[in-house]
A and B are shown apart, each in its own frame.
Chain A
Amino acid sequence: MGSSITTDFIHGAPPPPGDTFGGGGEPGGRGAHRRASITGLMVLLAASVMFFAAFTSAFFVRRGMSNDWVDTPVPGILWINTAVLLGSSLLIELARRALRSGERARFNRYWTGATILGAAFLAGQYAAWQQLHAAGFYLATNPSSSFFFLLTCVHAVHLAGGISALGYIEVQALLLRLGPGKRTAIDVSAYFWHFLDAVWIYLMALFIFWG
């Protein structure tokens, strides 16, 4: 992405009168790059919302369509996993706060904790799948279990992407490479992680109330 992070930009002619939208104004500057990164993330989240919305729509259509739907029991470990995931988000926020006040060591501790909790969530999800298998629920057992495995798996794939982002920041932090340019990467990773919390809570509601 090198070419868009360039040296300072000195403003040219002022924007024309009545130009309320402005146009960039700082196309080559770091500000533009940061804005573009955050816009890019929001766009990605919009696509992700549509992806889950499509599955949800299929979920309700399929549920209302026939009498072969047997609710899948929600494994108890999912409550622990939920707490773990929310805990990791909390640590990420504490880490960002530490970074803002210049406490790099504290940032590293919190961020590492968040990454470990993220990995723990994935391990917990795997344990939940094992519990369901032991109880006789597999992907193709009935439409409810199909959706349960599918949605948790799709969420886990998103989460694995999130963990790679957290891991990247982690490595940069340990190598003392968290310059101002990396703040955007930190913010973008954090927003994405919180989004995955929201998706998970949504999925939990889906499983609990509509099974």
Chain B
Amino acid sequence: MRYALVFHAPELTPDGPQPSEEGIQEMMRLMDDYAAALNSAGVFVAWEMLAPHSETKTVTRRTGEVVIEDGPFAAAKEALAGVVVIDVPDVEAALAWAEKFPGTSYGTIEVRPAATSFVDGTWTRPGDGPTRSGDCPSHPDGSS
């Protein structure tokens, strides 16, 4: 079943503390290790790290016409910084991965199950069966 690891972190501001070049390199290396681990475990679906909210456009047609604006309306202290989608049997496995996300040293990971996913041209729900081949979510004692 698919889980989104939704990552929130403080955004860099020009007058705020800047990470060192060394620190950035180290974090990129850790993120790279993490991506490789997701890949080799066969649970990887997608990973997007996002540009700062200043580069965001908001689109709505709530009022009946298309309104495009710059940025989200309220800048929070922690902003949405990235989304990793993984396909694992249950929330315990998702948590095991979330714990290892390198960004948790400076931000927060939200572990959110997918309610329904558009996979291979069709909508699937968690109850429809495994979304990845070779999945084996059952447990000897029936617990999870």
Q: Decide whether A and B are members of one complex.
A: no
| Residues on B facing A (Cβ under 8 Å) | none
